[in-house]
Amino acid sequence: MLSRCQLCRIRPRVVGALHRGPVVAGLWFGVAASATLVACGGEPASRSSAAAGQDDPPVVLDDPGLPDVTVDPVTPSLSVDEVGETLTRALAIPPNSTRAIESYRMLMGMGDDWCPGNEYYITDTHLYGCHAETGYFYAGVSDWIDEIVDPHTNANMVAVAGDFWIETPDGELFEGGGAAVYITGDGFWAREMYGSWLWEGGDPWLASGFSGVLSIEVMEAYGIRVSGSAQIEGTSWSANELMLDNACDRGPSGQLGLRDPSGGWYTLDFTDCAPCAPVQFEGMALGSTCVDFEPFIAAVEAME
């Protein structure tokens, strides 16, 4: 039976699949191995130094103290109405991981048999870059994943992960650092973006650069669930278990956040499926505002 958070149930398998790819797994192993070597390499030297100076008196250092730091309190620059309007506009352009994945496959198909050598992933052979005969440039490492992550619900995950960039003959950049994922299963589907992504030839939200970790899950029986945070087209926002529930005509519950230019955050806690909520700025109550979720719902439904 489908749960109200299907991704919560299969999340370990999704993460496992992302880390299991031959290229990305090698990167994870390399990082872990480097950390181990650093730790193990420092240990004998430490013991040797201690043994050599075991008869020396201990050296007592004066406490340097901590510097005095004065931090000016941040103040909100938006009215509560502007907070609602900004969130409505930001939510209307949710990141669609399918666009990043499709663009990646299209650009990978522009190479040749040596550079990058296939249409799916860039190996560390071309870590520092290569030029294909077609004029395209490929560098870094990437993985392509296409597999069943939950046979009980026929959940299939398609993803591209890695740290890489591709440049067209016209100088347009596609850069990926993280993972772009879409999952489809019986009665649900999801789009997820991790890290930083840029495709100068793509949709406006991708051409201006995406940064964050955001998951959008649509469950036919329950509604739309959003979790994570993102910076899109200059606006930073977050969702903490935001649920647009079918049981109350896609009314919201959960929390939304919006970053002010000053660096502080507005938070809105939605209850009782009502689109209006009290606004707090760094814990200070400002009043109430409303968010129109209809443009977001329409944009998400158009992803399927």
Domain-embedded: residue 7? no
The Cα–Cα gap between 20 and 68 comes to 47
Burial of 220 (0-12, 13-18, 19+ CB in 10 A): exposed
CB-CB contact of 127 with 113 (8 Å):
no
pLDDT at 6: 59
Domain-embedded: residue 269? yes
The Cα–Cα gap between 1 and 152 comes to 9
Domain-embedded: residue 219? yes
- Claim to verify: residue 225 and residue 280 sit in the same structural domain: yes
Which two structure tokens, joined as six digits, stand for 236?
């930073």
- Claim to verify: residue 111 and residue 145 sit in the same structural domain: yes
The SS3 call for residue 73 is: coil
Written as tens digits, the pLDDT of the chain (304 aa) is: 455 565 666 556 666 666 665 444 444 333 333 333 333 444 334 334 444 445 667 777 777 777 877 777 889 999 999 999 999 999 999 999 999 999 999 999 999 999 999 999 999 999 999 999 999 999 999 999 999 888 888 999 999 999 999 999 999 999 999 999 999 999 999 999 999 999 999 999 999 999 999 999 999 999 999 999 999 999 999 999 999 999 999 999 999 999 999 999 999 999 999 999 999 999 999 999 999 999 999 999 999 7
- Claim to verify: residue 268 and residue 119 sit in the same structural domain: no
The Cα–Cα gap between 175 and 208 comes to 12
Domain-embedded: residue 25? no
Question: How many other C-beta atoms lie within 10 A of the C-beta of residue 52?
Answer: 9
- Which conformational region is residue 234 in: left (phi greater than 0), alpha (psi within -120 to 50 degrees), or beta? left
Confidence (pTM) = 0.79
- Claim to verify: residue 224 and residue 258 sit in the same structural domain: yes
Residue ending a domain, among 202, 223, 253, is 202
- Claim to verify: residue 106 and residue 183 sit in the same structural domain: yes
The SS3 call for residue 144 is: strand
Domain-embedded: residue 167? yes
- Claim to verify: residue 87 and residue 220 sit in the same structural domain: yes
Domain-embedded: residue 283? yes
pLDDT at 71: 73
- Claim to verify: residue 86 and residue 179 sit in the same structural domain: no
- Claim to verify: residue 84 and residue 226 sit in the same structural domain: yes
Which two structure tokens, joined as six digits, stand for 137?
């440039």
- Claim to verify: residue 117 and residue 169 sit in the same structural domain: yes
Residue ending a domain, among 171, 202, 233, is 202
pLDDT at 70: 76
- Claim to verify: residue 108 and residue 189 sit in the same structural domain: yes
- Claim to verify: residue 85 and residue 138 sit in the same structural domain: no
Q: In angstroms, what CA-CA distances link 265 with 51, 83, 91, 134, 234?
A: 53, 11, 16, 47, 15
- Claim to verify: residue 163 and residue 244 sit in the same structural domain: no
Residue ending a domain, among 202, 224, 254, is 202
User: Which range of residues forms the domain containing residue 263?
Assistant: 77-93+214-304
pLDDT at 10: 59
Domain-embedded: residue 241? yes
Strand blocks (E) in the chain: 130-131, 137-150, 155-167, 173-185, 188-199, 210-219, 223-232, 235-245, 251-259, 265-270, 276-281, 284-290
Q: How many domains does the chain have?
A: 2
pLDDT at 21: 56
Residue 144, phi then psi, degrees to nearest 5 = -115, 125
Domain-embedded: residue 56? no
pLDDT at 193: 95
The Cα–Cα gap between 166 and 103 comes to 11
The Cα–Cα gap between 102 and 232 comes to 19
